[in-house]
């Protein structure tokens, strides 16, 4: 079984010191590729370094809504420059988060929007974080159809009712270890509604460890996510893994497919 972890953070200080072992364990568990998402200018260099070191690491660069407060002037020119220099780099993690203690919804939307435009101009896929900001996201998608085409909503936690419309807007939905918890009824209901052509998996390592996993999460736990979803959809695990792998490869590795 070949797997593609479409969202993780290997540059995180909880994983970086033992990243060699993390990557080896992932490979042993069948994880062929990992999309490693940056979160602020401070970690873009580490993400690019990891992609140089490991052929299995696909880099993504972006400003996460949690780090909007610390952006420095000229960030967008520097991001554009890096994206132009590295044609294999995706855009992410970017998005909207309405659960923050200090709400800055307008700035979040502005920075999210600018990164979406940049991704579209350069033809890059996007990894999107959306936490309880579904109203704002849908408003944007309806106002500007196609704005987030080739985007992936990572660790989907939205309502089942939005699945169809998100797919119509050209978005893919990725599910993480959160789906392995029986209490997560919402995501479990949503995942059976997603079309095969729009379904992806991830670990969000080092966060969101799946049920029964202690400590930092790692890409090797992908297997548990895929097995859970295969069970929920009533499809053989090998088939679910194969379909998601080919969707992810076409999106993130168009030159290698
Ligand atoms: Zn993340």
Least confident piece of the model among 8-12, 16-20, 52-56, 102-106: 102-106
Q: How far is the CA of 239 from the centre of ligand 1 (A)?
A: 26
By the CB criterion, residues less than 5 angstroms from ion ligand 1 are 93, 204
Q: Enumerate domains of the chain plus CATH numbers.
A: 3-252 (3.20.20.140)
pLDDT, mean of residues 104-127: 96
- Per-residue pLDDT at 256 exceeds 90: no
Check residue 254 and give its pLDDT: 84
pLDDT in tens, 94-112: 999 999 888 899 999 999 9
pLDDT in tens, 21-71: 999 999 999 999 999 999 999 999 999 999 999 999 999 999 999 999 889
Q: How far is the CA of 204 from the centre of ligand 1 (A)?
A: 5
Report CA-CA distances (Å) from 182 to 22, 35, 131, 185. 27, 27, 20, 7
Neighbours of 67 (CB within 10 A): 17
pLDDT in tens, 67-96: 998 899 999 999 999 999 999 999 999 999
Q: How far is the CA of 86 from the centre of ligand 1 (A)?
A: 21
């Amino acid at each position: 079984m070949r797997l593609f972890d479409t969202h993780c953070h290997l540059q995180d200080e909880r994983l970086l010191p033992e990243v060699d072992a993390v990557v080896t364990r992932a490979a042993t568990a069948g994880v062929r590729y990992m999309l490693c998402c940056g979160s602020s200018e401070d970690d873009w260099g580490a993400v690019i370094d990891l992609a140089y070191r490991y052929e299995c690491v696909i880099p993504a660069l972006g400003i996460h809504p949690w780090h909007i407060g610390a952006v420095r002037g000229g960030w967008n020119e520097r991001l554009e420059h890096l994206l132009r220099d590295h044609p294999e780099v995706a855009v992410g993690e970017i998005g909207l988060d309405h659960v923050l203690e200090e709400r800055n919804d307008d700035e979040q939307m502005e920075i999210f929007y600018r990164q979406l435009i940049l991704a579209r101009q350069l033809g890059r896929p996007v990894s999107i974080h959306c936490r309880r900001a579904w109203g704002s996201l849908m408003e944007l998608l309806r106002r500007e159809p196609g704005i987030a085409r080739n985007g992936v909503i990572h660790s989907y936690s939205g309502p089942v009712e939005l699945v169809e419309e998100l797919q119509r807007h050209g978005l893919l939905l990725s599910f993480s270890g959160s789906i392995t918890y029986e209490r997560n009824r919402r995501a479990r209901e949503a995942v059976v509604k997603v079309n095969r052509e729009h379904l992806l998996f991830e670990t969000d390592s080092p966060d969101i460890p799946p049920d029964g996993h202690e400590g930092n999460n790692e890409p090797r736990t992908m297997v548990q996510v895929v097995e859970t979803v295969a069970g929920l959809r009533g499809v053989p695990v090998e088939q679910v893994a194969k379909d998601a792998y080919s969707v992810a490869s076409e999106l993130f590795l168009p030159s290698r497919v």
